[in-house]
Chain A
Amino acid sequence: MFEALIVMALGAVVLGGALGYAAVRFRVEGDPLVEKIDAILPQTQCGQCGYPGCKPYAQAIAKGEAEINQCPPGGEEGIHKLADLLGREFKPLSAEHGIEKPKAIALIDEQTCIGCTLCIQACPVDAIVGAAKQMHTVIADQCTGCELCLPPCPVNCISMEPIAESVENWKWKYPVFKLTPSRKEAA
Chain B
Amino acid sequence: MSALRKLFRFHGGVKPDYHKDASTRQPIAIAPIPAELVIPLHQSIGGPPRPLVQAGERVLKGQRIGDADGNVSSAVHASTSGTVRAVEMRRMPHTSGLSALCVVIEPDGRDEWIARQPFDFRGASPTETRDYLRDAGVVGLGGAVFPSHLKLNAGKQGRLDTLVLNGAECEPFITCDDLLMRERGEAILKGAAIMREMLAAGRVLIGIEDNKPEAIAAMTEAARTAGDDAIQVVAVPTRYPAGGAKQLIRVLTGIEVPHGERSTDYGVQCFNVGTAYAIHEAITLGQPLISRIVTVAGNVGQARNYEVLFGTPMRDLTALCKPLPDSDRVIMGGPMMGFRMPGDEVPVVKATNCVLVGSGALFPPPPPEMSCIRCGECAKVCPSDLQPFEMYWFARARLFGKAQEYHLFDCIECGCCAYVCPSRIPLVDYYRFAKSEIWAREVEKEAADLARDRYEFRLLREEREKQEKAAKLAAKTAAGREKAAAALAEAEKPARTPEEEAKHALIAAALERAKAQKEQAQPENTSNLSPEQQAEIAAIEARRAEIREQAKPHLRADD
Q: Chain A residues in contact with chain B, CB under 8 A?
A: 38, 41-45, 53-55, 124-127, 141-142, 144, 165-175, 177-178, 180
Contact = CB atoms under 8 A, between A and B. Distances in A.
A169 B432 CA distance: 14
A87 to B, nearest CB: 17
A128 to B, nearest CB: 12
B100 interface: yes
Given A173-B433, A175-B433, 4 more contacts: A167-B99, A170-B436, A172-B436, A175-B426
B451 A167 contact: no
8 contacts: A42-B444, A45-B455, A54-B455, A127-B454, A166-B98, A170-B98, A177-B369, A178-B368
Interface string B404-448: 000000000000000000000010011011011100100110011
A139 B430 CA distance: 35
A165 B98 contact: yes
A44 B443 CA distance: 14
A125 B448 contact: no
B440 A44 contact: no
A172 B429 contact: yes
Nearest to B42: A167
Contacts of A169: 440, 443
Nearest to B443: A169
A125 B437 CA distance: 26
A44 B449 CA distance: 10
A167 B429 contact: no
Interface in B453-485: 454-459
B98 A43 contact: no
A62 B451 CA distance: 21
Given A125-B455, A125-B458, A165-B96, A43 B448 contact: yes
B19 interface: no
B92 interface: yes
Given A165-B98, A167-B42, A172 B435 contact: yes
Interface size class of B (residues with CB under 8 A): 20 to 34
Nearest to B89: A166
Contacts, number: 73
What secondary structure prevails in chain B residues at the interface with A? helix
Q: Which 6 A-B pairs have the closest CB atoms?
A: A43-B448, A43-B451, A125-B454, A171-B436, A172-B432, A170-B96
Given A43-B449, A180-B368, A126 B454 contact: yes
B443 A43 contact: no
Nearest to B365: A178
A124 B456 CA distance: 9
Given A43-B449, A45-B451, A172 B433 contact: yes
A144 B451 contact: yes
Contacts of A172: 95, 429, 432-433, 435-436
Contacts of B450: 142
B455 A167 contact: no
A168 B42 CA distance: 10
Given A172-B435, A175-B429, A38 B452 contact: yes
B94 interface: yes
A82 B37 CA distance: 51
A76 to B, nearest CB: 11
Nearest to A53: B455
B440 A42 contact: no
Nearest to A180: B368
A44 B455 CA distance: 9
Contacts of A177: 369
B72 to A, nearest CB: 14
A38 B437 CA distance: 21
Nearest to B94: A167
Contact of A174 (B98, B433, B444, B447): B433
B202 to A, nearest CB: 40
Nearest to B461: A126
